[in-house]
Amino acid sequence: MNNATILWADDEIDLLRPHIMYLEEKGYHVVPVTSGRDALDVLEGVDIVFLDEQMPGLSGIDTLKAIKERWPQLPVVMITKSEEEHIMDDALGGKINDYLIKPVSPSQLLLTVKKHTEGRRLRSEHSTQGYQQQFREIGMQLGDCQTATEWEEMYRRLVFWDLELASTDDENIHDIFLSQRREAGAQFCRFYEGMYRDWLSGRAEKPLMSQTVVRERLVPMLKDKTPVFLIVIDNFRYDQWKYVQPLVEPLMRVEHDELYWTILPTTTQFARNAMFAGLMPSEIERKYPQWWVNEDEEGYKNQYEDELLDEQLRRHGLNVKHSYNKVLNAQYGRRLVERVDDLMRYDLNVVIYNFVDMLSHASTDSHVVRELADTDRAYRSLTRSWMEHSPLMELLRELSERKVRVVITTDHGSTRVERPVRVKGDREVSVNLRYKQGRLLDYNPKEVFEVKDPAQLFLPRRHVTSPYIFARAGDFFAYPNNYNQYVQLYTGTFQHGGVSMEETLVPWVTLSPRR
């Protein structure tokens, strides 16, 4: 039985006695009143309000506004005889939670009450039961993942259940899911390490990757005369996209939602330069040495993205006007929104947003941010909060009023690291926690993805004896002489550079305005 309390305000409440009796038989307590004034006097302890729109004295709309001023989270359901659009607009503008047209049936009322008073519990139970039913199927599918396409579908499925199970408070089911996701992560690393060299060498057909995504996805779009906005959110994971997608969909229609595979290392210096150049890092270094800066050299590692993109477009026979914009703060982002009419003159507008990457780094540098983003769920929540109030949403609102096509993508993702792996090296070893390159590296080959010859991965070679090693799944590299400090400082933070589904499988989403 239920013990939720329903406040029902209707000047003809006596005619509703059969409905009230039905709800009470279902275990609900109904408090009937005949006016808006009376309703405002008995709100204490109420779980949901049924509110007649046409009442003498204080109208339903005015009562709604008064309720929301005092109890903004209290669910209010407007019940009316009128189907006039302006009344619906007034009710929705007053933050109504639901809307029913008279005559209403008992089953309608019951469904509405359950939705607003028991919805979270019911969704939680449904999600838990659904995952329990699919647990074995997912486990069997994991054993059968043999191709890039199958791994993409597996990752989509895991992201779906990750988001779906966020509505449940059942810690046991969370633990079961995390265990299955870790197993999937380990198997993914074995697949990726086994195929990566073959993809790059041409011995196996490669999936859509950093160095091919512009040629295969963006270039065909540019052959149309509709302006394209390429929005690159640095360090943006697929699960973050799916979590913010409901914010975008009222403005933009999702035409294509796909994944592409980033190259190694999964960092901006390598992956984003490869994306804009349409070349692997060693090819960029050889072909455009003036635009490549090695890790041990002074200078900003991504300051020539615009030039690399321009050269790639020319190689593909496109002479398009394009702009390049890097948004490092909200002030610049808002100025960019003000320039939308000017940007419409270009065939392509590249806009890079760095907030999510800064958030990832802040989880290491700031104890406060680490507390706020100590889980994948919390990390997604912070991303959504930023997105909702960001200049990027302002830009999307402006673009939704114009004839454009929009791509939302990234250069790489990040993963929450949990297990330290010991590694030694000299002072010239790269500082990234998820990959290392340098002479005199000392490590356990069984604990890392080892690449002794960087040329196999089309990576620049700093020295004759400079292998690359990459951390897997939730691992991170720690130096033995500062081991405890590393463990304390970096465990539970979000890092990138290595091999994991979260870093490697990233979104390429094509949007168009709904209007």
- Taking only the tens place, the pLDDT of each residue in 195-216 is 999 999 999 999 999 999 999 9
Residue 257 has pLDDT above 80, yes or no: yes
In 3D space, the residue among 324, 306, 421, 411 whose CA is nearest the CA of residue 360 turns out to be: 411
Residue range 262-274: mean pLDDT, rounded:
96
Q: Are 31 and 41 in contact (CB under 8 A)?
A: no
Residue range 6-27: mean pLDDT, rounded:
92
Q: Where are the domains of the chain?
A: 5-117, 121-201, 213-414+503-513, 416-495
Q: What is the pLDDT of residue 225?
A: 84
| Cα–Cα distance, 280 to 315 (Å, whole number) | 15
| Cα–Cα distance, 159 to 62 (Å, whole number) | 43
Proportion of the chain above pLDDT 70, given as a percent: 94
- Taking only the tens place, the pLDDT of each residue in 428-451 is 788 899 999 988 889 999 999 999
CATH class assigned to 213-414+503-513: alpha beta
Residue 234 has pLDDT above 80, yes or no: yes
Q: What is the pLDDT of residue 511?
A: 97
| CATH code, 5-117 | 3.40.50.2300
Does an H or E element contain 420, and which? strand 419-422
Bigger pLDDT: 35 vs 426: 35
Residue range 360-375: mean pLDDT, rounded:
72
Angle at 128 between CA 127 and CA 131, to 5 degrees: 85
Read off the pLDDT band of 475 (50, 70, 90). very high
Please return the burial class of 499, using the count of CB atoms within 10 Å of its CB with bins 0-12, 13-18 and 19+: buried
Residue 363 has pLDDT above 70, yes or no: no
- Taking only the tens place, the pLDDT of each residue in 65-100 is 899 888 888 999 988 886 665 656 655 565 788 888
Q: What is the pLDDT of residue 96?
A: 81
Q: What is the pLDDT of residue 1?
A: 47
Residue 465 has pLDDT above 50, yes or no: yes
DSSP state of 462: S
| Cα–Cα distance, 320 to 237 (Å, whole number) | 30
DSSP state of 424: B
Residue range 255-273: mean pLDDT, rounded:
97
Read off the pLDDT band of 392 (50, 70, 90). very high
Instruction: Work out the mean pLDDT of the chain and round it to a whole number.
Output: 90
